[in-house]
Chain A
Amino acid sequence: MAEADEKDLFKVENDIPPTAVMLPRYRKLKRLSIIGTSLVALVPLMIMTLLNYYQDQDAYHAETRYTISRLLSNTQKTLEFAIKERRSALSLIIHERSYEQLSSQAGLKSVLDNLKESFGGFVDIGLIASNGQQTYYAGPYDLKGRNYENQEWFQEILVRDVYVSDVFMGHRNIPHFVIAYKHEKEGGDFYVLRATIDMELLYHLIYSLDLDKNTDAFIINREGILQTPSLFYGSILEKVKFNTPQHFRPREVIDEYHEEGKWLTSGYAFIEESPFILMVIKQRESPFFHWFYRRTGLIWFLLLSAGLILAVVIYGSTHTVKRLRELDRRRAKIFHNIEYTNKMATIGRMAAGVAHEINNPLAIINEKAGLLKDLANYNENFPQKEKILNLANSITGSVDRCSKVTRQLLGFAKRMENNIEVIDLKNLLEEVVGFQTSEISHRNLQITFDFSQELPTIESDRGQLQQVFLNIINNAFVAVDDGGIINISGSLDSDNLVAVTINDNGKGISEENLQYIFEPFYSTKGQFGTGLGLSITRDIVEKLGGRIEVLSELGKGTSFVVKLPCQSKKGAYREKT
């Protein structure tokens, strides 16, 4: 054997990693590719969207605040003016008219009529003496002679000259508020001019704001009692649930706060020289939904773009990694084809060389033993003739046995070449098992053949098929324990394929490993396997126009099924090789 061939052989072997599980690597690569590309493409899109969201929030916030602030300011002025106007009217009357002029039913009636005509909003008017007794009254109720000494507003007026009351029920049992003026008479006594203001004045102010259903405007007093009905906080004279604003600033819009999952923007304004506080509360949409509804188009665009990007990225990465894997696979295939060819050629040459080298001395031994026999046979007086003949026969017998071995070896070497011939599969399988006789007996393995069905002979490559079955049977030997059972059976498949099933009762292959066992470089034998055996096996079977299947259950055993066509596809076979 040439030295160069040996070097080539080892070179190829060293180039191939002994064991490498390749598939998780591709999965990782695909994952990284998808994640990386997606991030690069999607992150700017996300940032733009977030920026838009925050800008929108700011704008919406400012807009709401501005609306409420303007509403508060306008209404505050109107309300202040309305109250001040009526107070001034009363002031004018109390200063312009004398007690005598006022202290008559007719006088008071004319005052009320004038007030109603000039300003409106007055319900009634009364003159109350310092003891709290209403001495004169003009208006729709019969309130003359009522004593107000114990009413709160009367207590207040004792210490002040003018008083604007909260809304209260009073004697008439209807919500109302009053404006009262105290006037000193000569001699120290005083009297009070008291006018009831129509609640319509307040109601009208609120209603005329023409608010949407999410905005509530109402008036409270400083104790938080509702002076006008509220949309969200109850009806008139009920106490509101929130804290009453302190008179820290006359007017303020308070930032949104969250209460029972609602987004609110509220504002208040103190009405000067009255106990009233005007409140406007706007119930807003949540910032997200506000943005979401206003920017539906944008969001759709974003989602569609993201979807499209993801689809392209996933498709692209999958495709690229698949291509890469295919290329790697092809490369590995070429590698091990080279290795396989080299190895087989070397084994073939080696076997032929060994057979030849042994055969020559064997021939000499045979002839010498033969000569011995001849000498004994042709010489009548040959000493110890029988004994010598026996010895010579035993030598030639042994030579025959050796000769058989070298013949087998040569047959094996020849099969390294591609030769399509007619093959009896049962015969071939028995030959292959015959190669392993020593291991079978050593490990006490049971090999059973089940070829009860008559099988047709097939046209195929004997050497290649021997390699295929040798690989599978070797794997079965590795899988089973000592004393294990390996069953080899043949049957005729429906598609005119001859199926050979090699079943063992060994340790089996896990489902996870099962999908990879035909991949090049996949090995479960660790450093003892190259991971090429089954890959080569499948390649050969496919080249011969057949296919290989595997069934396995962990702990129960494995079945390899090799299906081969009866007729060899010579053309296809040659092309591929």
Chain B
Amino acid sequence: MAKAVVLLVDDEQEFREVLSRRMEIWGFKVDTAPGGKEALKKVAGKTYDAVILDLAMPEMGGIETLKRMLEIRPELQIIVLTGHATVQDGVEAMKLGAVDFIEKPAEKEKLVAKIEQARDRRQELFENQLDEKISDIMKKKGW
């Protein structure tokens, strides 16, 4: 299976660097974004298997970023990774369409598992969409 492509959105530079490094070691392809705006740009231009999103961020907050990202790409698998302080926001994020929720500091196994689940779900979704598209085309062509 191809390497899962993950976008890590967190305002804390050090955290971003170290976690992306680790995720690469675990076998993922990682892009990072320091804030909501940058994340939106990246999401618009590339397909990601999973987005790991911090909620407590300056300027554009996590919830706002989440809403906008889902507007652009409704199929995005967004995993919220947040401190205890924003657990309430985490629940809110789930309601808005995030697929998962992990509290900082996160354990490796948990994170890996969630990312892989997200990737699988996206793949499935993608394949389903592909099937639908193919059958659509086939119907149109009259096959």
Chain A residues proximal to chain B, CB less than 8 Å: 352, 355-356, 359-360, 362-368, 370-371, 373-375, 378, 396, 399-400, 403, 406-407, 410, 414
Complex-state Cα separation, A414 to B21, whole angstroms: 35
User: Does B26 contact A374, Cβ atoms closer than 8 Å?
Assistant: yes
Residues of chain A within 8 A (CB-CB) of B19 are 367
User: Does B12 contact A364, Cβ atoms closer than 8 Å?
Assistant: yes
User: Does A407 contact B84, Cβ atoms closer than 8 Å?
Assistant: yes
By beta carbon, the residue of chain A nearest B12 is A360
Complex-state Cα separation, A368 to B88, whole angstroms: 27
Complex-state Cα separation, A368 to B15, whole angstroms: 8
Complex-state Cα separation, A368 to B17, whole angstroms: 10
Q: Is B14 interfacial (CB-CB < 8 Å)? A: yes
Separation in Å of the A199 CB from the closest CB of chain B? Answer: 126
Q: Is B74 interfacial (CB-CB < 8 Å)? A: no
User: Does B15 contact A355, Cβ atoms closer than 8 Å?
Assistant: no
Q: Is B104 interfacial (CB-CB < 8 Å)? A: yes
Residues of chain A within 8 A (CB-CB) of B108 are 370, 373-374
Write 27 A-B pairs (CB below 8 A) sorted by A numbering: A352-B85, A355-B83, A356-B85, A359-B104, A360-B12, A360-B15, A363-B83, A363-B104, A363-B105, A364-B12, A364-B14, A364-B15, A365-B105, A366-B104, A366-B106, A367-B15, A367-B18, A367-B19, A367-B105, A370-B18, A370-B108, A371-B21, A371-B25, A374-B22, A399-B105, A403-B105, A406-B83
User: Does A362 contact B105, Cβ atoms closer than 8 Å?
Assistant: yes
Complex-state Cα separation, A403 to B106, whole angstroms: 11
User: Does A356 contact B83, Cβ atoms closer than 8 Å?
Assistant: yes
Separation in Å of the B25 CB from the closest CB of chain A? Answer: 5
Q: Is B56 interfacial (CB-CB < 8 Å)? A: yes
**Contact status of A371 and B14, CB under 8 A, knowing A355-B85, A359-B104, A360-B83:** no
By beta carbon, the residue of chain A nearest B82 is A359
Chain B residues proximal to chain A, CB less than 8 Å: 12, 14-15, 18-19, 21-22, 25-26, 56, 83-88, 104-106, 108
Separation in Å of the B67 CB from the closest CB of chain A? Answer: 22
Residues of chain A within 8 A (CB-CB) of B83 are 355-356, 359-360, 363, 406
**Contact status of A374 and B105, CB under 8 A, knowing A355-B85, A359-B83, A363-B83:** no
Partner of A368, one of B18, B26, B86, B87: B18
Complex-state Cα separation, A17 to B108, whole angstroms: 55
Residues of chain B within 8 A (CB-CB) of A396 are 105
Residues of chain B within 8 A (CB-CB) of A414 are 88
Separation in Å of the A379 CB from the closest CB of chain B? Answer: 9
Residues of chain B within 8 A (CB-CB) of A406 are 83-84
Separation in Å of the A369 CB from the closest CB of chain B? Answer: 9
By beta carbon, the residue of chain A nearest B86 is A356
By beta carbon, the residue of chain A nearest B13 is A364
By beta carbon, the residue of chain B nearest A414 is B88
User: Does A359 contact B84, Cβ atoms closer than 8 Å?
Assistant: yes
6 shortest interchain CB distances as A-B pairs: A366-B105, A359-B83, A356-B85, A363-B104, A367-B18, A374-B25
Complex-state Cα separation, A403 to B102, whole angstroms: 14
Separation in Å of the B78 CB from the closest CB of chain A? Answer: 18
Partner of A371, one of B22, B56, B104: B22
Complex-state Cα separation, A231 to B73, whole angstroms: 134
Complex-state Cα separation, A371 to B17, whole angstroms: 11
Complex-state Cα separation, A414 to B91, whole angstroms: 15
By beta carbon, the residue of chain A nearest B25 is A374
By beta carbon, the residue of chain B nearest A362 is B105
Complex-state Cα separation, A436 to B15, whole angstroms: 34
**Contact status of A370 and B14, CB under 8 A, knowing A355-B84, A359-B84, A362-B105:** no
Complex-state Cα separation, A374 to B18, whole angstroms: 11
Residues of chain A within 8 A (CB-CB) of B22 are 367, 370-371, 374
Residues of chain A within 8 A (CB-CB) of B86 are 356
Complex-state Cα separation, A360 to B83, whole angstroms: 7
Residues of chain B within 8 A (CB-CB) of A370 are 18, 22, 108
By beta carbon, the residue of chain B nearest A360 is B12
Residues of chain B within 8 A (CB-CB) of A366 are 104-106
Residues of chain A within 8 A (CB-CB) of B56 are 356
Complex-state Cα separation, A368 to B14, whole angstroms: 9
Complex-state Cα separation, A355 to B82, whole angstroms: 12
By beta carbon, the residue of chain A nearest B14 is A364
Separation in Å of the B63 CB from the closest CB of chain A? Answer: 16
Complex-state Cα separation, A368 to B87, whole angstroms: 23
Separation in Å of the A324 CB from the closest CB of chain B? Answer: 45
Q: A352-B85, A363-B104, A367-B18 are in contact. List 18 more A-B contacts (CB 8 A).
A: A355-B83, A356-B56, A356-B85, A359-B105, A362-B104, A363-B106, A364-B15, A367-B22, A370-B18, A370-B22, A371-B18, A371-B22, A373-B108, A374-B26, A374-B108, A396-B105, A403-B105, A414-B88
Complex-state Cα separation, A352 to B89, whole angstroms: 13
Complex-state Cα separation, A386 to B12, whole angstroms: 30
Complex-state Cα separation, A359 to B104, whole angstroms: 7
Separation in Å of the A476 CB from the closest CB of chain B? Answer: 31
User: Does A378 contact B14, Cβ atoms closer than 8 Å?
Assistant: no
Residues of chain B within 8 A (CB-CB) of A410 are 84-85, 87
Complex-state Cα separation, A407 to B105, whole angstroms: 11
Residues of chain A within 8 A (CB-CB) of B21 are 371
Complex-state Cα separation, A131 to B18, whole angstroms: 168
**Contact status of A363 and B15, CB under 8 A, knowing A355-B83, A407-B84, A410-B85:** yes
Complex-state Cα separation, A364 to B12, whole angstroms: 9
By beta carbon, the residue of chain B nearest A377 is B25
Complex-state Cα separation, A366 to B108, whole angstroms: 10
